[in-house]
Amino acid sequence: MSILDKLNIEQKKAAETLEGPLLILAGAGSGKTRTITYRIAYMIEEVGISPYKILAMTFTNKAAKEMRERVESLIGDEGKKTMISTFHSFGVRLLRIYGDKLGYNSNFTIYDGDDQKKVIKTILKELVVTDKGLTEAMIASRISKLKEDGITPGEYEIKNKFDNNFKIVSEVYKRYNVALKNNNGMDFSDILVNTLELLNKQEILEKLQDKFQYIMVDEYQDTNNIQYQIINKLAAKYKNLCVVGDENQSIYGFRGANIKNILDFEKDYPNAKIIKLEENYRSTACILDAANAVIKNNASSRDKKLWTQKCKGDLINLKNCQDGRDEVNFVLEEIIKEKKAGRSYKDFTILYRTNAQSRLFEEGLLKFNIPYKIFGGMQFYQRAEIKDILAYLSVINNYLDNVNLTRIINVPKRKIGDKTLEKILNYSKEKGISLYEALGELENIGLTPSVKIALGEFYTLMEELREISLEGSVSELFDKLISGVGYFSYLRNLYGLEGDSRIENVEELKNSIVELEKMVEYLSLREYLENVSLVSATDELDGERDYVKLMTIHNSKGLEFPVVFLVGTEDEIFPGTTKVMLNREELEEERRLCYVAITRAEEKLYISYANSRYLYGDMSYRTKSRFIEEIPMELLNEERKKIVEKQSPVKGFKNFIKIDKIQELNLPYKIGEKIIHKKFGLGKIVGINEKKIEIQFVDGKREIALALADKFITKD
91 binds, among Mg ion, ligand ATP, none (CB under 5 to 8 A by kind): none
CB of 265 to ligand ATP, least distance (A): 17
**Strands 109-111 and 83-86, bridge-based pairing:** unpaired
21 binds, among ligand ATP, Mg ion, none (CB under 5 to 8 A by kind): none
User: For residues 235 and 201, is the Cβ–Cβ distance under 8 A?
Assistant: no
Q: Catalytic residue among 10, 12, 33, 136, which? A: 33
Nearer to Mg ion, 32 or 88 (CB): 32
**x/- site string to ligand ATP, residues 590 to 629, per CB under 6 A?**
---------x------------------------------
33 known ligand binder: yes
Q: Catalytic residue at 219?
A: yes
27 known ligand binder: yes
Q: Is the four-CA dihedral 640, 646, 647, 649 of positive or negative sign?
A: positive
* DSSP letters for 260-300: HHHHTHHHHSTT-EEEEE-B--SS-HHHHHHHHHHHTT-TT
Using CB positions, name the residue nearest to Mg ion: 33
Plot region of 558 (φ>0 → left; ψ -120 to 50 → alpha; else → beta): left
Distance CA 19, CA 56 (A): 15
Kindly indicate which of the ranges 4-12, 75-83, 336-344, 460-468 contains the residues binding ligand ATP, using the contact rule CB under 6 A. 4-12
Q: Among 558, 576, 683, 687, indicate the residue that binds Mg ion (CB under 5 A).
A: 558
26 known ligand binder: yes
**Strands 713-715 and 674-677, bridge-based pairing:** antiparallel
Nearer to ligand ATP, 60 or 612 (CB): 60
Q: Catalytic residue at 32?
A: yes
- The DSSP bridge partners found for residue 681 are 677
User: How far is residue 351 CA from its own chain's centroid?
Assistant: 16
Q: Catalytic residue among 12, 32, 282, 549, which? A: 32
Q: Give the length of the chain.
A: 716
414 binds, among Mg ion, ligand ATP, none (CB under 5 to 8 A by kind): none
Nearer to ligand ATP, 246 or 694 (CB): 246
How many Cα atoms occupy the beta-carbon half-sphere of 602 within 13 Å?
11
Q: Is the four-CA dihedral 129, 151, 255, 212 of positive or negative sign?
A: negative
30 known ligand binder: yes
**x/- site string to ligand ATP, residues 239 to 268, per CB under 6 A?**
-------x--x-------------------
The footprint of ligand ATP on this chain (CB under 6 A) covers a number of residues equal to 18
What are the percentages of helix, strand and coil residues in the chain, rounded to 5?
A: 55, 15, 30
Q: Is 399 helix (H, G, I), strand (E, B) or coil?
A: coil
8 binds, among Mg ion, ligand ATP, none (CB under 5 to 8 A by kind): ligand ATP
- The DSSP bridge partners found for residue 318 are 607, 638
Q: Among 166, 238, 281, 547, indicate the residue that binds ligand ATP (CB under 6 A).
A: 281
CB of 197 to ligand ATP, least distance (A): 31
Q: Is the four-CA dihedral 632, 636, 642, 647 of positive or negative sign?
A: negative
User: Measuring CA to CA, how many Å separate 363 from each of 25, 185, 356, 698, 711?
Assistant: 41, 39, 13, 19, 38
- 227 touching ligand ATP, by CB under 6 A: no
246 binds, among Mg ion, ligand ATP, none (CB under 5 to 8 A by kind): ligand ATP
Query: Scanning residues 665 to 694, which ones bind ligand ATP (CB under 6 A)?
Result: none
Q: Catalytic residue among 249, 308, 349, 406, which? A: 249
CB of 58 to ligand ATP, least distance (A): 10
CB of 541 to ligand ATP, least distance (A): 15
329 binds, among Mg ion, ligand ATP, none (CB under 5 to 8 A by kind): none
User: Measuring CA to CA, how many Å separate 441 from each of 86, 403, 416, 447, 661?
Assistant: 42, 19, 16, 11, 58
Q: Is the four-CA dihedral 307, 309, 310, 311 of positive or negative sign?
A: positive
29 binds, among Mg ion, ligand ATP, none (CB under 5 to 8 A by kind): ligand ATP
Query: Scanning residues 6 to 45, which ones bind ligand ATP (CB under 6 A)?
Result: 7-8, 11, 26, 28-34
The footprint of Mg ion on this chain (CB under 5 A) covers a number of residues equal to 3
CB of 279 to ligand ATP, least distance (A): 7
Q: Catalytic residue among 45, 66, 112, 219, which? A: 219
- The DSSP bridge partners found for residue 24 are 244, 275
Residues in CB range of 218: below 8 A, 6 or more apart:
32, 33, 36, 56, 57, 58, 59, 63, 67, 244, 245, 558
In eight-state DSSP terms, residue 409 is: T
Residue 338's nearest CA partner among 87, 604, 597, 554 is 604
Distance CA 382, CA 390 (A): 10
677 binds, among ligand ATP, Mg ion, none (CB under 5 to 8 A by kind): none
CB of 301 to ligand ATP, least distance (A): 14
Distance CA 575, CA 587 (A): 7
* DSSP letters for 332-395: HHHHHHHHHTT--GGGEEEEESSGGGHHHHHHHHHHTT--EEESSSS-GGGSHHHHHHHHHHHH
Nearer to ligand ATP, 278 or 338 (CB): 278
Plot region of 497 (φ>0 → left; ψ -120 to 50 → alpha; else → beta): alpha
590 binds, among ligand ATP, Mg ion, none (CB under 5 to 8 A by kind): none
**x/- site string to Mg ion, residues 29 to 48, per CB under 5 A?**
---xx---------------
Kindly indicate which of the ranges 68-76, 449-457, 486-494, 555-563 contains the residues binding Mg ion, using the contact rule CB under 5 A. 555-563
CB of 107 to ligand ATP, least distance (A): 35
CB of 558 to ligand ATP, least distance (A): 4
C-beta neighbour count of 444 within 10 angstroms = 10
**x/- site string to ligand ATP, residues 541 to 580, per CB under 6 A?**
-----------------x-x--------------------
CB of 376 to Mg ion, least distance (A): 19
Q: Catalytic residue at 33?
A: yes
190 binds, among ligand ATP, Mg ion, none (CB under 5 to 8 A by kind): none
Residues in CB range of 225: below 8 A, 6 or more apart:
148, 149, 150, 256, 258, 261
Residues at the interface with Mg ion (CB under 5 A): 32-33, 558
Q: Which residues are annotated as a binding site for ATP?
A: 26-33
Residues at the interface with ligand ATP (CB under 6 A): 7-8, 11, 26, 28-34, 246, 249, 281-282, 558, 560, 599
Annotated catalytic residues are 32-33, 218-219, 249, 600
Q: Which residues are annotated as a binding site?
A: 26-33
